[in-house]
Structure 1
Amino acid sequence: MKNFHSILFISTLISGTLITISSYSWLSMWMGLEINLLSIIPLLKDKKNIFASEAALKYFIAQALASSILLFSIILSFNLYSYIGSSLTINMILMSALFIKVGAAPFHAWFPEVMEGLNWINGMIMLTWQKIAPMMMIFFNVHLTNFLFTIIIISSITSGILGLNQISLRKILAYSSINHISWMLASMLNTQTIWMFYFLIYTIISINMILIFNFLSIFNLIQLFSSMTFNKHLKIFFILNFLSLGGLPPFLGFFPKWLVINSLIINQFYLLSVLLIVSTLITLFFYLRITLATLIINTNEILIVKHKTNNFLIMTFNFITLSGLLICTLTWNFY
C-alpha cells in the first residue's frame, strides 16, 4: 500500500511538471504547478524524521503564497491591463512569484529551512526536479533584463556569504543551489540550450553527491569527517565532486559555467560575468575548506572493521561526472 501511495504521487508530480512545460497559457501553467505542489507534500512525510512535517508545512506555505501571487498577476494581465498602464508591473509581480517558487534570493528564506528538515531523497527532488517548471516559466517571460540582472547578482552574492558559516550539508547544498540558480538565470538571457546543459550537469553532480551522503547517512560536517576515514575511495570521489560542483576547470562542473561565461561575453554582459565569477569564488572557498578539512583533520580509524562500499550506482555516477568534461570537450571540439 505504501508503494502504491508513492507511485501515485510521484506520477502526478511528474505530470504536473510536464503540464506546466507543455502548456500554451499562463493559467494552465499555474494548474500544472498546483498539481506538482499537491503531489510533493505527501512525499515529504517521513516517519524516521521528526522535522519532515514542519518542512512540508513551510514548503506548502511558501509555494501557496507564490501560487496566489502568480494567479493574481495572471488575472491582472487578463482583465486589468488597461488600468495598470503597462505590462511592466504585471511582469515584475509574475517574475517575483516564480522567483519565490524556485528559491532565488532575496526570496530564498524558506529554501534552506525546508531542506534542513528533509531526508536526502526528498532533498534531491527539491534541488533538481522541483526547479524545472518554474525555470521554464521564467524562460518564457524573460523581458525585464534589469530586474533579472538584480536577482542574479543578489542570488550569487547572498548564497556565497550565507554559505560560509554553515555546518549542515543540506543547508550548504541549498545555498549552493541558490548560487547555481543565478548562473541558470544568466544562461537564460541568450539561449535555452545552455540552460538545459547547465541544469542537466548540475542535476548529475547533485544526485551523485546526495547518493554518497545517503549511502553514508551523514548530514553535517562532523559526521562527514569521521565517516570518510572508513571509505577511502568514497572520500576521493566526494572531494572531486565537491570541486566539480564549485566549477573548477578539470571537472564536469566547469563546462556549463564555461558556456555561460562565453555567452555573456559574446553578448557584452561584462559586469555580470565578472560578478558571477567573483561570487562563485566565495562558494568555492567554503567548498575547498570542507574538502581540505576532510583530508587533513585527524580522526580515529578502526582498521579491522570492513565496510561495504561497492555501490554500483555511486560508481556509475562518479564515472560520468569525472570523465564528463573530457567527453564534452572532445565532442564540441569538432564543431
Structure 2
Amino acid sequence: MLNFYKILFINSMILGTMMTISSYSWLSMWMGLEINLLSLIPLMSNPKSIYPSESALKYFITQTMASTILLFSIILLMNKTEFIPMNSNNSLLMIMNSAILTKMGAAPFHFWFPEVMEGLNWMNCLIILTWQKIAPMIIFMYNIKMTIFLSSIIIISSIISGIMGINQISLRKILTYSSINHIGWMLASMMMFQSIWIIYFLIYSFISMNIIFIFNKLKIFYLNQLFNKMNNKKLIKFFFMMNFLSLGGLPPFLGFLPKWLTINNLVINNFYMISLVLIILTLMTLFFYLRITFSTMILYSSENTLNQIKINKFMIYFFNSINLFGLLTCTLMFNFS
C-alpha cells in the first residue's frame, strides 16, 4: 500500500524536476535540484531493512557535494568580473559540468552510483535510473560548449561501464553500469540535436521500466535467481530476454532506433572517432546482456511448481509487445509520414 507521505514526496520530486527544467535563472535551477533531492531521500527509507537508509545517506552526501560545487561555480560565473580573471571561463564551466555529471552518475564521477543502487528496492532503482537523470541532463544542455571535455566523458563512460559490468552478479549493479553506458550515448546524442536525446531517453526509460517491472514482480535481485524463478513462466522469460537484447541495441528491437539516430547524427557532423568508440565499447555491454539471456535460455533447469508468485501478466505482455514491435511501427511511421 502506498503511504500518504510517499504520494506527497513523489509530487514534490516531480515538482523539483519541473522547476529545474523550466527555470530561467541558475539559482532557481539549483533550488529545483535541491527540492528534487530532499524529496527522494524519504522515498528511499524502508523500516524493514537498514540497507536503504545506508544508500539514502550515501546518495544525500554525494548529491549535496555536487550541489555545493554547482552553486559555487554559478556564483563565480555570475561575479567573474569581480573575483576572477575573464579568461578562466572554460575552467569554471568544466567545474560546473563536473558537478552536473556527478549528479547524473556519468563516469568518472560514478563512484556513488553502484553503491547506492545496491541497497534499494526496484522501484527506487527505476526512479534513479530514469527520472533523476532528467534535470541534470537538461542543465547540461545549456552549457554544452567544450567538445573535448564532453568527448572524453563519453569515451570514459563507455569504457568503465563495459569493463565493470562484466564482473557483476547483482542485477542492480548490471543495470547501473548499463545506465552509465547509456549516459555516454545520451551525451553523444545531445551534442547537436536535443530531439534525439528526448527519443533516446524515452525509449531507454521504457525498456528499463519493462525489465525492472519483471524483476520487481518476481523478486529477483541476483543472477542465480533468474534460473529458479522464470522456469515455469516461458513467455515472461522470452520477453525478459528480448528486453535485454533491446537494451543492448540489437536491430530488430526498439532499443536500436535511438542508437541508430545517434550514430547517424554523429557521422553527419564528422564525429567519426566518438561514433567508432561508442559502437566498439557497446559490444562489451552487449556481451554481458547476451551472457544473461543465453544462460537463462540454454541452461538445463527443472521447473519449481511450489511457491509460485501470482503476477498480473497482462501488463507485462502489453508493454513488452510495444517494445518488440516498436521499431517496426516507428519505421513504418517514418516511411509513410
When the two structures are superposed, what TM-score results if normalisation uses the length of structure 1? 0.97
Supply the AA of the counterpart residue of 2:247.
Answer: L
Partner of 1:181 in structure 2?
183
> 1:305: Cα distance to partner?
7.4
Q: Go from structure 1 to structure 2 and tell me whether the alpha carbon gap of 1:310 and 1:234 turns closer, same or farther (over 3 Å shift).
A: same
> 1:281: Cα distance to partner?
0.4
CA distance in 2, matches of 1:272, 1:301: 46
CA distance in 2, matches of 1:48, 1:196: 37
Partner of 1:316 in structure 2?
318
Report Cα offsets for 1:275-308 as digits up to 9, x if no partner: 0001100000010011111012222223587654
CA distance in 1, matches of 2:56, 2:307: 38
> 1:228: Cα distance to partner?
1.3
Question: Structure 1 segments of 4 or more deviating over 6 A?
Answer: none
CA distance in 1, matches of 2:295, 2:228: 11
What CA RMSD, in Å, does the superposition of the two structures yield over aligned residues?
1.4
**Please, which runs of 5 or more residues in structure 2 have no aligned partner?**
none
Supply the AA of the counterpart residue of 2:316.
Answer: I
The answer to whether the Cα contact below 8 Å between 1:230 and 1:307 also exists between their aligned partners in 2 is no
Q: Go from structure 1 to structure 2 and tell me whether the alpha carbon gap of 1:326 and 1:72 turns closer, same or farther (over 3 Å shift).
A: same
280, 304, 313: which one aligns with 1:302? 304
Supply the AA of the counterpart residue of 1:35.
Answer: I
Partner of 2:35 in structure 1?
35
CA distance in 2, matches of 1:304, 1:119: 24
> 1:60: Cα distance to partner?
0.3
> 1:313: Cα distance to partner?
2.0
Partner of 1:80 in structure 2?
80
Partner of 1:112 in structure 2?
114
SS at match of 2:191: coil
Report Cα offsets for 1:95-118 as digits up to 9, x if no partner: 000000000000001001100000
Partner of 1:249 in structure 2?
251
Q: Name the % identity.
A: 63
Q: Go from structure 1 to structure 2 and tell me whether the alpha carbon gap of 1:46 and 1:171 turns closer, same or farther (over 3 Å shift).
A: same
The answer to whether the Cα contact below 8 Å between 1:105 and 1:178 also exists between their aligned partners in 2 is yes
What pairs up with 1:137-176 in 2 under 5 angstroms? 137-176=139-178
Q: Go from structure 1 to structure 2 and tell me whether the alpha carbon gap of 1:26 and 1:107 turns closer, same or farther (over 3 Å shift).
A: same
The answer to whether the Cα contact below 8 Å between 2:230 and 2:236 also exists between their aligned partners in 1 is yes
> 1:80: Cα distance to partner?
2.8
Q: Go from structure 1 to structure 2 and tell me whether the alpha carbon gap of 1:309 and 1:37 turns closer, same or farther (over 3 Å shift).
A: closer
Partner of 2:101 in structure 1?
99
CA distance in 2, matches of 1:307, 1:113: 29
191, 194, 205: which one aligns with 1:192? 194
Q: Go from structure 1 to structure 2 and tell me whether the alpha carbon gap of 1:53 and 1:267 turns closer, same or farther (over 3 Å shift).
A: same
SS at match of 1:230: coil
Report Cα offsets for 1:113-163 as digits up to 9, x if no partner: 100000000000010000000000001111011100000000011100000
**Please, which runs of 5 or more residues in structure 1 have no aligned partner?**
none
Supply the AA of the counterpart residue of 1:108.
Answer: H
Q: Go from structure 1 to structure 2 and tell me whether the alpha carbon gap of 1:296 and 1:81 turns closer, same or farther (over 3 Å shift).
A: farther
The answer to whether the Cα contact below 8 Å between 1:124 and 1:210 also exists between their aligned partners in 2 is yes
The answer to whether the Cα contact below 8 Å between 1:244 and 1:253 also exists between their aligned partners in 2 is yes
> 1:47: Cα distance to partner?
2.4
266, 272, 278: which one aligns with 1:270? 272
